[in-house]
Chain A
């Protein structure tokens, strides 16, 4: 069966990492203009708009778009993957024809950036988590990992290998922020942030953005290098990390991944390339297992056997990831961009002959999830 939706434009901001001359909405616009140019379209061709953290209305006004479909789903860093899934449905039923999804965040320079949502004192997190010091991502997202490590006998050295291997990928990417090789020793000697997580196990803080343009697969044949959406999934669990049902597995990951694989009709052996949103070094463990690439507890050995590394059979986070490429705050857009580059055959660390790429995102701290299966083949 042929796919119904395709990516016909995709681009990141002109610069990446430190962008002191653009505000948050300026980053959105820079990425949008680059994606429009990539597709050979203009803003007047866009009739569907989706974004998160920035107002989709502000974006419409800024770019001069009067849409027939708007999606402001904001569930953290995987929002843009969910926008893809929502756009698939909207295009399919005719609510719009050509959708623009944008991300921009002045994470490093902090120019007109939307403040991160701080839970009010009467919210559930405000009452039952913040009073104990869980007030920013490094002390929230990380909380489940010791339980995982105890259950499966995973060591700090094994956790430290994740940034080491992703740095190997980053070394192949001229746009990556951190390209110098690192060792397990370097990671374990870096400053302790939130035990067991050290500085090099935590993502970068960057300015940047990206945008993609989607339309129906039938129209996509008019464009160069269309990338098709073969399947998509989404789910959510809880905003309270303390209430995550099982600290060793994410139910949102499992549901989202299963939906995407089922819709695409693919098996794990079909996947040539994988992106797992890595705000912290433990996320590839959860991603590999909850998406079904490894059985529970086997991700550490899988990574140590270099299956996700350059030359491995499941090249993963090939841009260097949030740990080494860039991390604006809502990294999901960059997961999409790298999967699309790989499917177009233009990635700096290109996986030769890759036909199927899976992009997996997380929102909040295991709070929400979305998964997209891309392919460069018209039908699977």
Chain B
């Protein structure tokens, strides 16, 4: 992997998300005006009602596998085959991620399987949230 994967550039609206990720915490926002629903990606208003009264909170980090593809083509920073996944967080929102600690095969990657967040530092400022299968107790 000669090159690194594309890294995000935080904006004023998303900086709290990336600062939390740097501390290995997954933070989301929710509406503080009634509905209380969590939302993603970050913005300074509730996407349902438009209220600017919102708050950040620490999410559980629990999710299930909603959908994915397994890319077999080379891409900077990736060793194919690798899965590009969308997970559904317990709090409701979905986010794109990679699944780690798991074979990148259709047999290992089962839709609706339980996952939990793990963090991988990419640079001084950027740590990405990945997800890994929850192993049986």
Contacts and interface: CB of A to CB of B under 8 A. Distances in A.
A142 interface: yes
Contacts of A191: 72
Interface string B56-80: 0000000000111111110101100
Contacts of A146: 67-69, 111
Interface stretch (A19-27, A119-127, A257-265): A119-127
A132 B97 contact: yes
In this complex, the interface size class of chain A, counting residues with CB under 8 Å from chain B, is: 35 or more
A121 B111 contact: no
A143 B67 contact: yes
**Contact residues of A: prevailing secondary structure:** mixed
Interface residues of B, number: 35
A221 to B, nearest CB: 49
Given A128-B95, A129-B96, A194-B71, A139 B11 contact: no
A204 to B, nearest CB: 17
A126 B67 contact: no
B51 interface: no
Contact of A195 (B11, B70, B77, B98): B70
B14 interface: yes
A61 interface: no
A241 B84 CA distance: 12
B9 A122 contact: yes
A112 interface: no
Contacts of A193: 71-73
Nearest to B73: A193
A247 B67 contact: yes
A194 B9 contact: no
B84 A134 contact: yes
Given A126-B6, A130-B8, A195-B106, 16 more contacts: A121-B8, A124-B41, A127-B9, A127-B14, A131-B5, A131-B8, A133-B84, A133-B98, A135-B6, A138-B73, A139-B84, A142-B69, A143-B67, A147-B66, A147-B111, A243-B41
18 contacts: A126-B9, A127-B14, A127-B41, A129-B96, A132-B128, A133-B82, A133-B98, A135-B6, A139-B71, A139-B75, A143-B68, A146-B111, A147-B111, A240-B41, A242-B86, A242-B95, A243-B41, A247-B66
